[in-house]
Amino acid sequence: MEATMIDKKLADKPIQFEISMGNAGNSIDGHIKSSKSRSDIDSDSISLHEETAGSMESLNVSWQSTTPSLKPQTHDRLYYYLPYWDDKPTTYIRSVFPDHRKRMYNSNAISKIADKLEENLREVHNMIEMEDPSCTKYGNLCRSTNSSLSNQGRTRLDRERSKLCINELESIGTLARQYKIVKKSTIKEKYKMTYGLLDRLRQLIDDPQHAIPDIFIWLISGTKRLAYQRIPSRNIIYSMVEEEKGKDSGCVQTLFLKLPGRKGTGSGGWMIQAKLQIYLWLGSTKHKKAFPSGIPSGFQITNELLNAEKLGLSPPLSIHYTEKYCFQLRAHMYQARSLIGSDASGLSDPFARVIIGEYCRTTQVIDETLSPTWDELLIFDQIVVYGRREDIKLNPPTIIIEIYDQDKVGKAEFLGRSVGKPWVCLIGSSDYQTPSLEWFQIYRGNEEAGELLAAFEMFELAEVAGHDPYSNLSEPKDNGPYIDSGPVLPVPKGIRPTLAKYRFEVLFWGLRDVKRVHWLTVDKPRNPNFSTTVKFLDIELPEQEIYCPPLTIRVVDCRSFGRYTLVGTHVINSIHKFLYHPVTRKSRDDADKRKKESLLRSQYQDISQSTNSLYYLSSSLLPSNPNSVSSLELTPLVPKAKDSLITLDYGTYAIPNGCGLDISMVIKPMILIDDDEESLDWWSKYFASVDAMIERGGDQEKGEEPHQNSTKDSNLYGLLEEEPKKRKYGGIMNVTNVAKSAANKFSPNRASQIQQQRKKSKSSIALFKLFPNELESQVGLDGFTEWLQTFELYRGKKSEEEFEDETRIVGKFKLPLPKDLDDHTVMGFDPQFGFFQGLPSNDPLHVLVRVYVVKANDLHPMDINGKADPYLVLQLGSKRTSDKENYISKQLNPIFGKCFEFEATFPQDSVFNKNRFFSRHRATCGLTSRYDTCGYNQWRDPMKPVQLLTKLCKEGKVDGPHFSNMKVRVGQKTFTLQSKEGGPLQNWQTKVSEEHLALAVLHHWNEIPRVGTYLVPEHIETRALFNPDKPGIEQGKLEIWVDMFPMDMPLPGLPVDISPRKPSSYELRVIIWNTDEVVLEDDAFFSGDKMSDIYVKGWLKGPDDAQQTDVHYRSLTGEGNFNWRFLFPFEYLAAEEKVVISKKESMFSWDETTSKVPARLTLQVWDADHFSKDDFLGAITMDLNRFPRGAKTAKKCTSDMLKTDGTVPTINLFKQKRTKGWWPLYIKTENEGLLLQGKVEAELSLHTAEEAEKNACRSWQR
């Protein structure tokens, strides 16, 4: 159709274009004819222009693959073109290839599915960036189109690949339907998963087998091939099925020719050698009549085109256009953003070239910027476009925009290229609308190089002067220093963005990690934070947020003699998320009023449907005296409008012994407690929290808010609600359940009830949060950047390689950019007095940092034996601590239990910890789940809950807290503490209750209007480990938490003791008395009676630790008598219920390897043979913490004792110390059933190491 933008180097001699497919069409290198004769032609082959079996002409291979040679011409000496004008040259190739079209058809069908999915994902990504709530609705992103795939194929690989594609599409469709349910907390996770589906689709597109050769278009000058472009044949293959047709089949497309070989890679591949507007069609001769259907109409129909379906008729050598129209193009070039830094300073002097057809216009140059604002209108007159007017409007010509960097010496440097389409206005049309500016993506090679804000429109020109929508253009602007040709017209007012006044406030906080500039360090001032922080400027910005210009941060170093040196720059592409639109108090009050009215209306509707009155019965807790009955409390269902009541149940608090209070006067849950309070330690809380997390099914991974508690009914905070309603009290019996509890006390299911109550007893242990990832990644914490963000500063030229661009980072700039705010500032104050109020000082701050390292998981093996010897090395600023002496031998999941203390100065030592320290979420010391003054859950913050609450109210300028009569008022919120009697607390309880209530309010600080936010609870975070030599590859995970305390305040108490528990030494003594009803395996030699030679084997640590009795020979009834004692000394961890085994793996090992196994005793009965291997008869494995109580006699010992449904009573040997009885021996059948094989009478006794030493005995003693 046209050949333009030809490079000046190629325009010296006449040039032509060649099209080829494999060997067909090659006009320079010659043609190698096929060695097959006509009779040897495969029946599976197709002719690209014929497919009639009986025609001799069908196999004539011919082509016209080159265009006529023409000398390029130019208007501006920048770009050249070939004067095709009205006659458009045509080329064709008719050849024979194997018929593998089905491969291309399947690839095209899958490719269109992937393109549709990617288009939807791109839209979702834009919504997420714009924080649009509508992005939670995905719609049908992926629909299976298996109907377009067929199992037919020429080879077995074709058929198997087709089956693979169909199965994969069905699998992807099933997963896509599961992703339809999207919540706000899971949208980014689902977004990433959907991109995984897109990758799976992309992997199916390319067929491993070749089909038809690809098409090559060459630019030839003489006998030299100078530039080329390769078009995949599947992109232009024709099919009558729309899903199978190539995306560019029968369409006019724009091709950019590039240099061949290595010259076309890197910076050499950025420049265009020629631009072609070309129409391509590829298909079988059976479909030959369809090839002219996509050519833009307006040409003269010749005999060749009219009879295109005839097989022997070749296409014409050229197409003559009789319809052509003249247009005027107006390019509204407003601005660009995020351009590539091309100068040594990291900036550029950009200007733009707009090319349409053979014409080119250039904008003015904007000095030293990456976000130029040209505000310029470029006009192109007399643009001739061929075709019908309607077709031109539907498919206007392509506009190329190239961005260059103007250098004072040498030629301009290429920065990027963008492609656009104009809006077309025809004469006589009444649908003209003022075009809107839109963003066009700029590319340099395959790399994104910025965005261009522009609009393009084409007006049809008539022979007589007609109506011109822009007859009154704006006055010309002053020419730039590099432009001297014609006036510069600004973008008209109807198109340019409308501006509004904004107050631009910036808090300049400080610099971090600044590198050398011109071999000199940036060392002034010594404090990396700025002394003057807040600056403001009144500016005009577009009212439409999409048009907002980027924000450029430039840092300069002020040196001697008044010199300024650029340190680095950073460009924030879009500032729409940082625009602050204050809400008037009246509108906010109206919204709150409507919300309350709707709440009251819904409550009254519920009341009208209920048979109860406006009051409901709230069962109070059982009193400490079981003989007394507490009164019932009447609570109004609809609270007063002024107060927001939140009921707090006081009865779930259990105060540890020795904390200065009378335990008999404290309300405690009436449940069975296995362990005494004194035996609990920090690890008890850790394992209880792990169990709670497992029972919840991993709520943290489902987007649970960080302020929510670790268990639903564990303590006071699980009962906080916005309005009173019926609740279940965890581990607490209600008054109405007393009779029921007494009736069930002696029921047959008492054992199962005890197990359930024992499970509930864990709720009496204080818990904390276990985060499966970093703390700052939790929902609601905003990465601790709610008012401070870090931006990287760049200097130098940008390259295509990402690792090279990392070397351009010369520092980091901390700047607060607020977002998601209401009518208050970043700290909750009135914005009329400035946005940045109440922020902490940025002076250097001395803090005490405590780092608690609990354990590591899944470390990477470093030794030959697949193990590692890990130890800890911590570094904070210039301070480094190594714990190499206490390395843990041969462990990939070591338990460290260490606490390290540092005295640090912010920001010199750490920037990351400073973000935590100053965060509004108060990540310095997590809030415990409940307040205890001593014990394993002792409050470790220097400030008590009441002091913390008072400080937060003071900093946020909130009235309160006011404590009175079991109530506390904070601002407009009122919190009420409900005791067991429903009356006021006693005087001795006042202080404890105030601390408990204050802590509960702190856990719900996010509900406080205006200043409320989530406060970090007591937690353990999981952080990934990485090796600098293997970037991006996770080497394991570390469970830690960090506490920080300012040095200018009272220091905290001693660190929490999290050292690993030391096992206790025990000795298990097992006496095997008798066996009975053991199966008989052998036959007597003389009588033939059934018999067995019975002996018993047992172990605790493992088969290597096994002991056995002597043999009871020739038992005819299955009875055996032994009176044999086993002794098993072992080390035991009571909290984990594990036996600790320490031993060397080999004689060459330097250290012992430690492992943990469950405390399980295994007893086996065997039949001894003299000459063959002994026969296994049966066994039983007993967990020493919970195993069935032994039967008193052998007759009462049945297989029912093996049930695990809770109906069989169990005992704990570590509590009972001694037991004796009969236990069944069994084996598993093929259907996983249990078959009784005998019975064993044994006596088990457990002794501590001291007791065993005092009462020593032999293991074999009878």
Of 464, 457, 395, 398, the C-alpha closest to 431 is: 457
Is residue 1037 within 8 Å of residue 1025, measured between CB atoms? Answer: yes
DSSP state, 652? T
Distances (CA, A) of 346 to 129, 266, 405: 26, 20, 12
Q: What is the distance of C-alpha 162 from the center of its chain? A: 33
- Alpha carbons 47 and 57: distance in angstroms, whole number: 11
Same domain, 1140 and 1231: yes
Based on the domain organization, do 766 and 803 belong to the same domain?
Answer: no
- Structural domain includes residue 800: yes
Question: Cβ neighbours of residue 462 under 8 Å, at least 6 residues apart?
Answer: 427
For residue 594, the number of C-alpha atoms closer than 13 Å in the C-beta half-sphere is 5
What pLDDT is stored for residue 1128 in this prediction?
92
* 685 plus 540 within the same structural domain: no
Decide: 349 and 343 in contact? Cβ < 8 Å. Answer: yes
Q: Is residue 1261 part of a domain?
A: no
Q: Find all residues with CB under 8 Å of 258, minimum gap 6, and list them.
A: 227, 228, 229, 264, 269, 272, 273
Find the CATH number of the domain harbouring 544. 2.60.40
Q: Give the pair of three-digit tokens for residue 295.
A: 């050519």
User: Residue 616 — φ and ψ, nearest 5°?
Assistant: -130, 155
- Number of domains making up the chain: 7
Domain presence at residue 993:
yes
> In which element (H, E) is residue 1178 found?
strand 1175-1183
Per DSSP (E only), the strands in 232-363 are 251-257, 274-280, 318-320, 324-337, 350-356, 359-362
pLDDT of residue 1257: 82
* Whole-angstrom distance, CA of residue 648 vs CA of residue 595: 24
DSSP code for 612:
S
CB 1131 within 8 Å of CB 1159? no
Q: Which residue from 546, 455, 439 is spatially nearest to 498, judged by alpha carbons?
A: 546
Give pLDDT, residue 742: 36
Which residue is associated with the tokens 């040679």?
69
The structure tokens listed for 546 are 């999409």
Residue keyed to tokens 């049809």: 460
Interatomic CA distance for residues 825 and 988, integer angstroms = 42
Are 1097 and 1125 in a shared domain? yes
Bridge partners, residue 404, by sequence: 351, 414
For position 424, what pLDDT does the model report? 92
Q: In this structure, are 1115 and 1246 located in the same domain?
A: yes
Mean pLDDT in order along the chain per 10 residues (1262 residues): 90 92 82 47 48 44 88 90 91 88 88 87 73 46 46 74 87 78 65 83 86 91 91 91 88 91 83 91 87 88 83 85 93 91 81 94 91 92 90 92 89 92 89 89 89 93 52 48 63 88 78 62 61 75 80 75 72 70 66 68 51 32 32 34 42 39 32 52 89 70 41 32 32 34 40 50 77 86 68 59 47 48 47 56 81 94 87 88 90 92 78 71 90 88 92 87 84 72 50 79 86 90 90 90 89 90 91 92 74 92 90 88 92 86 77 84 91 89 92 91 86 92 90 87 93 80 50
DSSP 388-440: -HHHHHHSPPPEEEEEEE--SSSSPEEEEEEEE--EEE-TT---------EEE
Residue 568: beta bridge partners? 555
| Under 8 Å between Cβ of 348 and 110 | no
Is 651 in contact with 621 (CB distance < 8 Å)?
A: yes
Which residues, other chains included, contact 289 with Cβ-Cβ below 8 Å and sequence gap of 6+?
A: 308, 309
Same domain? For 555 and 519 the reply is: yes
299, 317, 335 - which closes a domain: 317
Among residues 495, 515, 539, the one where a domain terminates is 495
Contact 846, 904 (CB under 8 A): yes
Q: Is residue 40 part of a domain?
A: no
Q: Are residues 229 and 201 in the same domain?
A: no
User: For the chain, how many residues are written?
Assistant: 1262
| H/E element, 1099 | strand 1090-1099
Residue 723: what pLDDT? 31
* Same domain (yes/no): 283, 428: no
pLDDT of 607 reads 45
**Domain annotation covers residue 540:** yes
Residues 786 and 1011 sit within 8 Å (Cβ to Cβ): no
Query: Considering the domain boundaries, does residue 28 fall inside one?
Result: yes
Asked if 1122 and 1110 count as a contact pair (C-beta separation under 8 A), the reply is: yes
Six-digit token string for 1178: 């049966």
Alpha helices, DSSP H, located in 986-1049: 990-1003
In a domain, 260, yes or no: yes
Domain boundary among 467, 495, 523: 495
- What stretch of H or E contains 172? helix 156-178
CA distance 533 to 337: 27
Which residues form the domain of 1055? 839-916+1030-1060
Tell me, what's the pLDDT at 713? 31
How many other CB atoms sit within 10 Å of the CB of residue 1069?
19
Tell me whether residue 1188 is exposed, middle or buried, using C-beta atoms within 10 angstroms of its C-beta: 0 to 12, 13 to 18, 19 or more: buried
User: 1079 and 1202 in one domain?
Assistant: yes
| Strand 413-420 with 423-425, pairing | unpaired
Amino acid at 1106: A
Give, in degrees to the nearest 5, the angle at Cα 813 between 808 and 816.
145
8 A C-beta contact, residue 496 and residue 375: yes
Same domain, 449 and 524: no
* 905 and 1048 both lie in a single domain: yes
Element spanning 739, H or E: helix 738-743
Question: Does the residue 935 lie in any domain?
Answer: yes
**How much is the pTM?**
0.59
Q: Note the pLDDT of residue 859.
A: 93
Q: Do 132 and 54 have their domain in common?
A: no
Can you give the CATH number for the domain in which 452 is found? 2.60.40.150
Tally Cβ neighbours within 10 Å of residue 62: 13
